[in-house]
Structure 1
Amino acid sequence: MSGFYIQYLDSLCRRRGWHEPMYECYRSAGGYTCHVLVNGREYQTDLAYESDHLAQENAAMRAFMVCRNFSVNGGMLARNGIVQGLPVDESSRKTRKGSRHISSGRSRSGHHSSSSSTTSLE
């Protein structure tokens, strides 16, 4: 069973007509980190977690908390003027190096929690 935020993010993407989220987890000596690609933007964990499942849930939470506020026209600005996530060229994801695995949102399970940084437009 997937974590709550992974499910919430999957559902949000389906409702908005976006591609399903793609998760990329990395393992280091400190634990697991994760990046998730949603609607051309990348969100990542704020900490290292003891499992890839926890790292995925954290990345999904960060993405969901921002994307749920995007206008339905698919814009990159949340209603409150916050820009979230880094723009990503999806072709660049294939060239990264390191210990990792990539999966779509519905193929992983576990409990996760996450948040993401924000930049305010002034």
Structure 2
Amino acid sequence: MRDYYTITELTREFDISTRTIRFYEDEGLIAPIRRGRTRLFRHSDRHLLKMILRGKRLGFSISEIREIMQMYKTPPGEAGQLRAIVRRVSQKRLELEQKRRDIEELLSELDNAEEACLTRMAELGVTQGS
């Protein structure tokens, strides 16, 4: 295992911008070692970055990610963090399921509106291209 990773290596590995990594650093989520202007990321920083990106993919906000990460550092520790993640994932699932229902309803309404327009156009003898 390597001791350090450069910001360029991490941007390539995770397909993110240096600006993204700097943002997470500014937010206090990762804290690389600085040697002059160079940032050196430890294995633990790489792991944190991986967890941050996973949290973002799951739809967590930066503050939610920070809260979960903080739980890992203080009691109740990893078990508390895991319980919190399960709760948050359940909440996100419910939100996404509601959004899916809303989208399906909207699509149905659009289908009905399109069908009504096409029916009326046929009654008027109008074609779609006219």
TM normalised by structure 1 equals: 0.30
Instruction: Choose between structure 1 and 2: higher strand proportion.
Output: 1
Q: TM-score, normalised by structure 2?
A: 0.28
Structure with a larger share of its residues in helix: 2
Greater RCO, CA 8 A, separation 6+: 1
